[in-house]
A and B are shown apart, each in its own frame.
Chain A
Amino acid sequence: MLNRSFEENEIKKTLSWLSKHWDRPIHPEYHSASTVDEAISMLNSYEGKAKLFSGGIDVISLMKNRVLLPDVLVNIKPIKRLKTIVVNSHGIAIGTLALINDLERSGLIKDKYPILFETAHSIASPHIRNMATIGGNLCQDSRCWYYRRSPDTGISYDCRRKREEGKCYARGGENQYHAIMGESGCVSVCPSDMATTLLAMDARIKTVSSSGRRLIPIDELYTPFGNILKHDELITRLEIPEIPFGSKQKFIKFRLRKTIDFAIVSVAAVIKIEGKVVSDARIVLGGVASKPYRAVKAEECLLGETITERSAAEAAERAVVDATPLSKNGYKVQIVKALVRRAVMS
């Protein structure tokens, strides 16, 4: 007992000393919000120096690697109404705090939206799925090794993603897991599997901020350096329209170990077939660009066609016509083709 109080006193002394002598707080302040309004007003009052926190899967690991050093963490876990999942005849509404595991366990989702189940089931490990929220999954940051490198055992990279004048180290370095589509200052890919599938499902995101509510189509969420959300903006809900009866839906993820890992390439496809021909198709690629990439040219070539080995192969070719691989990731082009073909044929 004596030891313990002794140590606690020392910790308190340390904290007070540091706050006097140091120009940054050692630990972020931690606040809990029990309503959306409360969360927004906290975010607003810290002017971009606060970060939302629920499952903590990505935020904690970014903080550990000193990529993210927020002054304040705003815990939104107590906002119960953001946890709900509603499935009805219009589609699905998912609260931002629904766990990936909740999506995986919902019988309705598994029956009616197997693509969403497959995606949820493929994410990380059961332990992480028990903690991670769908909102967090959408907002997670790049997994680029350079961007995430901790300075604790070496040097961190002051890269383009962190600073406008910075350079992109992956472009000339270890870019085997980086983008093959699009030109931008940062070649890392959006790691969210949910984003890939939600774009194929034509989902929209509802947000709230101090300046009001927004409804954002998911392909407008991402920028090459992150997302368009403002510092005091909070995703509240996802709205997914119903997938018409008779549509095929498939999510396929290619990765190193068949579990745990992020996608090297993933494909989410929702293809509507009427009278044996394709009347609508949404084919989305993950792991290839800074946002989920809609393979519009592949979709177009399927419209009005019946699905055959030939049309699937054609769609696969069309999916990669705009690919501009980097020095070490040309193999992804092949994999995209194989996965698109497989998803279309499924």
Chain B
Amino acid sequence: MKEYRLIGKRLPRIDARDKVKGRALYTDDISMPGMLYGLILRSPYAHAKIVKIDTSRALKLPGVKAVVTGEDTAKVKFGVISRSRKFIDEYPLAVDKVRFIGEEVAAVAATDPDAAMEALDLIEVEYQELPAVFDPEEAQKPGAPQIHEHAPGNISREHHMKKGDPDRAFKECDLVREDTFTTQSAIHAYMEPRAALASWDLTDKLMVYTSTQTPYYVQQHLGRTLGMNPDNIRIIKPFVGGGFGGKSDGLSAVEFSAALLSKHAGRPVKIVCSRDEEFTAARRKHPASITMKTGVKKDGTIVARQSRAILDGGAYCSLGPLTTVLMGTFQTLPFRFEHFQYDGYRIYTNKPPCGAMRGHGGPQVHFAQDAQLDMIAEELDLDPVEMALKNGLKTGDESAAGFKIVSSGFAECLRKVSEAADWQDKKRTEKNDPKKAYGIGLGCGGFPSGAGFYFNKTTSAHSSVIIKAGEGGGLSVLTGASDIGQGSDSVVCQIVAEVLGLPIEDIHITSADTEITPPDMGTYSSRVTVAAGNAALNAAKAAREALFKVVADKFEASPDDLLAEEQKIFVKGSPEIYTSFVDAVNLYQKKNQGSPLVVKGSYNSPDPLSPTYSFGAYICEVEVDLRTGELTVLRYTVGHDCGQPLNPMSVEGQIEGCISMGMGYAISEDLRFDGGQTLNPSFLGYAMPTANQMPKIEITHVVTDDPHGPFGAKETGEGSLDPVAPAIVNAVYNATGVRIKDLPITSGKILQGLKDKDR
């Protein structure tokens, strides 16, 4: 591998100091003169007609400056996947009907939060309750309540794909297993709740600060729903405290209500969601029921897969139609098989809408896939690692869903972790302690580094970057990429600094401000490092080319022979004769009648699915208390191929974060319902792992040089989640003989499993 000056180095984030010292401003930290505080009134019914809303009492309350309802809106629906009309199914404020508990019905703005809260109680809404349905199986039955007129049978999306002939192939298999796996309702639980601050100027231009992953989409969808030209809207993403897919819907009632209230009141309006609202009414992960059938040869070769998934979609589309597709395609990673069939159904229910959450369908199907392959390996008396090695996708392969693998370090990941975790020995350890059992399990993953397709109709590139040189030698970098804590600002600076031979401190980034920065589709789909990184790389190369041209003229050399290093430009082999970077920039301006050096770069995936894929193999070790069913995760050994890690500290942070999130998914995070009502909307009721539950983590970077990624880098933020939960599930089986097919793994389930086994 090539050695770089900055790439691949363990660098602190450019915003680390600001964050640690509390200087970083998040949306709620920002205030404006005359600013009002907004709150949202939510539906207490899972399914009801709105007969009448009377806001007069609320408006009379001193301090209240505006109250808005669906009647005050243009009644235009939105949907983040706006390419298809069918997926545009939601009003930002309910019109005529509510479909889930927590749906936004009205909003108020007042001079202080208490008055706003009192005003909510004074809004009188007359509802006519309708029969509701909460179970996706029930919702499909004839006679079930219809949630949307456009969706008979409450089918929000169905997706079918087929390759080869699985039915015939199963007949030729030595072993065919069919199992049904189910997963619970989980939620992002980002640290910063959604928040927006909106204000209008006197030329009817709107500015919104918002905690979002996708400022560009917010601009577009806000324009659409407010009935105005999106170009008159400026969206600024300040520092954001996490999203994990929960802030990627392009628009939320929070932004919309703040904007509309501000318009009505003629003053800036800020809305910050409470944790209760976030747990009750924000997007969440799809609970799913997955029936998976896999056929293999005696030697473990996977031949065919047939699967059917029912997704509990909740009341609106959100990104769910895509989840329905991805739960099919993602199960073709990281293994190769020729025959494949998938039938996915996303069903509307009267529950809060489910959308994208880290891994986006992957955690559900990878739980099913890895647990089932573990069972198959046992039945055939094969080692799961050997079986994974036999079936793993290699460079040059194409997965059954058409993912073209241009670089794969999967086999090396498997070999490295198997050795580092002492897999062979531990796997075979006899279990004869009646009190405690130890187990070890494997989870595998692969993930696209950004989707190659668009959600909306646009001619914009997925990512673009503009670079503007200052006459002091610094570079301003403008990017639409949204740093929500994952570190994209740092990575973009790092790439530009590397290409131009500058210290990272000379790169000045402005990101995610739609007025200033070029369009970028946003932070989702694990796309930012590859897409925005490549756009930054292209822009930096363009800047270098422009500078090399003027310096080459001066040196009477060919631009191809020049190098940019340590703030100097010189001919290869003669670093002592150089032009400083500052001089080069000023030389450029002189030669161009003072015109500043401004260049741009863009990136679109060469493949409509994704440019490239990451891989990972995770080995988990657990301890199970056989008398209480208490499960302790002891250790993860991780092998991860994200191409060339641009900043290993950031990559490790992502992996550690995924392990925490995956452990929560596997063990303790579970939103419980009474009909359509979330019962445990708090950090006490929704049990995310705490720091003291984190196991030892050992990470091996398997470095591959990806042909598409910037400096060979691939994704790491989402794919790292997929193997976490199944590795625990398989380790629990190895320890206890209890096979969990229904997440989460509670002590109750382990105890029941132990009882059933003894029978």
Contact = CB atoms under 8 A, between A and B. Distances in A.
Q: Do A and B bind each other?
A: yes
Given A14-B62, A330-B748, A339-B628, A257 B44 contact: no
A293 B38 CA distance: 47
B281 interface: yes
A3 B33 CA distance: 8
A150 B42 CA distance: 12
Most central of A14, A173, A258, A262 by chain B CB within 10 Å: A14
A261 B690 CA distance: 11
A145 interface: yes
Interface residues of A, number: 43
A244 interface: no
A151 B44 contact: yes
B276 interface: yes
Contacts of B44: 151, 154-155
Interface string A319-343: 0000000001111001101110110
Interface in B150-174: none
B112 interface: yes
Interface string B261-282: 0000000000000101100110
Interface string A235-252: 000000000000000000
A277 B21 CA distance: 60
Nearest to B279: A153
Interface string B50-62: 0000000000011
A35 interface: no
A174 B687 contact: no
B62 A17 contact: yes
B628 A335 contact: yes
Interface stretch (B205-213, B337-345, B394-402, B677-685): B677-685
A34 interface: no
Contacts of B693: 257-259
A155 B677 contact: yes
Please classify how large the interface on chain B is, using the bins under 10, 10 to 19, 20 to 34, 35 or more.
35 or more
A170 B630 CA distance: 24
A89 to B, nearest CB: 38
Contacts, number: 119
A341 B115 CA distance: 55
Given A154-B280, A155-B44, A256-B687, A149 B679 contact: yes
B129 to A, nearest CB: 11
A341 B446 CA distance: 45
Given A10-B112, A174-B672, A335-B747, A149 B627 contact: no
A3 B689 CA distance: 44
Interface centre among B277, B679, B690 (most CB of A within 10 A): B679
B61 A14 contact: yes
B118 A153 contact: no
Interface in A1-16: 3, 7, 10-11, 13-14
A149 B685 CA distance: 11
A154 B625 contact: no
Interface string B528-546: 0000000000000000000
Contacts of B748: 176, 328-331
Contacts of B629: 331, 334-335
A152 B746 CA distance: 30
A275 to B, nearest CB: 29
B668 A145 contact: no
Nearest to B117: A152
B598 interface: no
Contacts of B142: none
A338 B628 contact: yes
Nearest to B673: A174
Contacts of A339: 628
Contact of A18 (B42, B111, B118, B281): B118
Contacts of B62: 10, 13-14, 17
A11 B628 contact: no
A151 B751 CA distance: 36
Contacts of A7: 111-112
Contacts of A258: 690, 692-693
Interface of A: 3, 7, 10-11, 13-14, 17-18, 26, 143, 145-146, 149-155, 169, 173-174, 176, 254, 256-262, 264, 328-331, 334-335, 337-339, 341-342
20 contacts: A10-B62, A14-B63, A14-B114, A143-B684, A146-B679, A149-B677, A153-B42, A153-B101, A153-B102, A153-B276, A154-B44, A154-B677, A155-B101, A173-B679, A174-B672, A174-B679, A259-B690, A260-B690, A262-B684, A331-B747
Given A149-B677, A152-B42, A331-B751, 9 more contacts: A7-B112, A13-B62, A17-B62, A150-B681, A153-B102, A154-B101, A256-B687, A259-B690, A334-B751
Question: When A and B form their complex, which 9 residue pairs have the shortest distance between CB atoms, in order from nearest?
Answer: A331-B748, A338-B627, A153-B280, A145-B679, A13-B62, A14-B62, A338-B628, A154-B101, A154-B677
Interface of B: 33-34, 42, 44, 61-63, 101-102, 111-112, 114-115, 118, 274, 276-277, 280-281, 625, 627-630, 668, 672, 674, 677-681, 684-685, 687, 689-690, 692-693, 746-748, 751-752
